[in-house]
């Protein structure tokens, strides 16, 4: 799985729709990992739990960019990341 912070911080000259598409794709990939992860050993359970947490984090960030609002459970770190990215979003040219 890609480092979500690095991925989002590397995006430049992107519009909100493209960002939502990227986050949706990442969310689907994270869900696939959760659904396919085995849970027989402690290491497998830990890997699945990490994937569950990643999927939830992506969903919170995706919610922010889809609805312009935060979920009550959004950590300050993620809120700061979202606001930083929002400040860099390309404004569509309507001329």
Note the pLDDT tens digit of each residue in 60-75.
999 999 988 887 788 9
> Cα 67 to chain center, whole Å?
14
Alpha carbon distance 70, 68 (integer Å): 7
pLDDT band, very low/low/confident/very high, at 27 (cuts 50, 70, 90): very high
Contact 61, 86 (CB under 8 A): no
Beta-carbon count within 10 A of 49 CB: 13
Q: What is the pLDDT of residues 48-63, one digit of tens each?
A: 898 899 999 999 999 9
């Amino acid at each position: 799985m890609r480092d979500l912070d690095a991925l989002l911080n590397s995006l430049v000259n992107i519009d909100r729709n493209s960002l939502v598409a990227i986050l949706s794709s990442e969310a689907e990939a994270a869900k696939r990992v959760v659904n396919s992860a085995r849970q027989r050993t402690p290491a497998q359970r830990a890997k699945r739990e990490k994937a569950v947490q990643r999927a939830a984090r992506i969903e919170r960030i995706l919610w922010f960019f889809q609805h312009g609002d935060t979920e009550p459970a959004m950590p300050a770190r993620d809120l700061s990341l979202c606001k930083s990215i929002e400040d860099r979003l390309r404004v569509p040219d309507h001329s």
